[in-house]
Structure 1
């Protein structure tokens, strides 16, 4: 399985999202919730998580 290149760092108006199911990362200025590759739930890596 080929590895997907990491798109980070994102542009200033974009945020980094990652799919925990397939590992895909993408930069988006919108707020996607579904991975375009496997339909898994995307996590926003640009926003700090709960501590």
Structure 2
């Protein structure tokens, strides 16, 4: 399965989210409740992961 391409770099006030279900990536200034494509869980990739 091909890896989805990243969207264009996010604006300064936006963060990058990736869907854990389908791999869709999107930029958003607000925290989206669910993936707009498959309604799956979104993970914020802009925040560093806890160690």
Scaled by the length of structure 2, the TM-score of the pair is 0.84
- Counterpart-to-counterpart distance in 2, 1:4 and 1:50: 24
Contact 1:8 1:16 in 2 (8 A): no
CA RMSD of aligned residues (A): 1.9
Residue in 2 that maps onto 1:33 = 33
Q: Which runs of 5+ in 2 are unaligned?
A: none
Q: Which runs of 5+ in 1 are unaligned?
A: none
Scaled by the length of structure 1, the TM-score of the pair is 0.84
Runs of 4+ aligned structure 1 residues displaced above 2 Å come to 1-5
